[in-house]
Structure 1
Amino acid sequence: MILVIMGVSGSGKSTVGSFLSKKLGWPLHEGDDYHSKENVEKMASGVPLTDQDRTPWLLCLHDIIQREMCAGTNAILTCSALKKLYRQLLLFGSRALNPSSASHQPDSVGGVLFAFLQGSYELIHTRMVARKGHFMLASLLQSQFDMLEPPSESENALTVDIQKSVPEIAAEIERALSTQQ
């Protein structure tokens, strides 16, 4: 099983991912660690990433998902996955960019669950302003909300309210995982 913890910056992906990784004993792949130097510099200077900026990063994360699935291991990946296209890139790689094959692809892949950490702009902005040492500026949060396409049920996605505590969020995700295996 591959768990993709998704949501806008500041929604708690790393915190929830780390908590679940320790609890379940699954490896955690922190999506931010795979951004190019150019992407990090762009975000750190307050410039939102474009689809073209994100595509190589998402294809790299697709490779991680494929590697873990081929090995038959459980794993957690954190990634904003803001648009359906981005989630399709995570699942299908570069095939998602081909219009003729993309129209015939399903919305989900067995063995991959998306956990969408959902919260209000105000709550997440407050969290981002308070955190230290992250390259993503709070001023970019609105651009993430503007492009956000929440996942549908057909994408094998669970939506979790981030007003809950981390253990409550983790328990909700664990319940969803137990129905998948």
Structure 2
Amino acid sequence: MAEGIPLNDEDRIPWLCALHDILRREESSRQDAVLACSALKKMYRCILVSGASALESNQPEKPGENTALKILFVHLDGSTDLIARRLEKRRGHFMPPELLKSQFDTLEPPGAPENFITVSVEKSLPEIVLEIEKAIFSE
């Protein structure tokens, strides 16, 4: 991405599997965790929940099968224009603004039966944090 080349599934899948392993380790230690990443596709979110086993079925494991992690996905939703303006103000970030279109082209917003909330990035940062905290603590 730093070179202006969008990542593809082949680039992302090993990284997502590694993130799943980290989340699994935190769960086994009875630790809560917050992970920030752009899980743009449903398949990517399935990998975070179920690890490499999601690659066979493209679906998370059944809740009773002991392999699926309980993850609340937070979809930070905003218009392309708003996000582009914010990207233009960033300095020293690995993702150049020119890749924004590829991110939106790849995006598959979460939907049922995924465990998610959608939060508008037009809100202030404190409002966004409060909305996420309410969702976490109401589970």
- Could you tell me the TM-score, scaled by structure 1's length? 0.71
Q: Compared with structure 1, are the counterparts of its residues 46 and 104 closer, same or farther at alpha carbon in structure 2 (3 Å cutoff)?
A: closer
Aligned alpha-carbon RMSD (Å): 1.6
Q: Report 1:32-71 matches (<5 A).
A: 43-71=1-29
User: C-alpha deviations, 1:85-111, integer Å up to 9, x for none?
Assistant: 000011111101113xx457349x563
Instruction: Give the unaligned 5+ runs of structure 2.
Output: none
Check if 1:113 corresponds to 2:72.
Answer: yes
Instruction: Give the unaligned 5+ runs of structure 1.
Output: 1-42
Q: Which amino acid in the other structure matches residue 31 of structure 2?
A: T
2:72 aligned counterpart, secondary structure: strand
* Aligned residues between the structures: 135
Q: Report 1:125-140 matches (<5 A).
A: 125-140=84-99
User: C-alpha deviations, 1:54-108, integer Å up to 9, x for none?
Assistant: 0111011101110111111111000100000000011111101113xx457349x
Q: Report 1:150-161 matches (<5 A).
A: 150-161=109-120
- Could you tell me the TM-score, scaled by structure 2's length? 0.91
Q: Which amino acid in the other structure matches residue 140 of structure 1?
A: L
Tell me which protein shows more strand as a share of its residues: 1
Contact 2:24–2:69 (CA<8 Å) still a contact in 1?
no
Task: Identify the match of residue 55 of structure 2 among 70, 74, 97.
Answer: 97
Higher relative contact order, chain-length normalized (CA < 8 Å, sep 6+): 1
Runs of 4+ in 1 over 2 A off after TM superposition: 102-107
Q: Which amino acid in the other structure matches residue 137 of structure 1?
A: P
Separation of aligned partners in 1, 2:82 and 2:112: 25
Residue identity over aligned pairs, in percent, reads 50
Task: Identify the match of residue 122 of structure 1 among 62, 81, 85.
Answer: 81
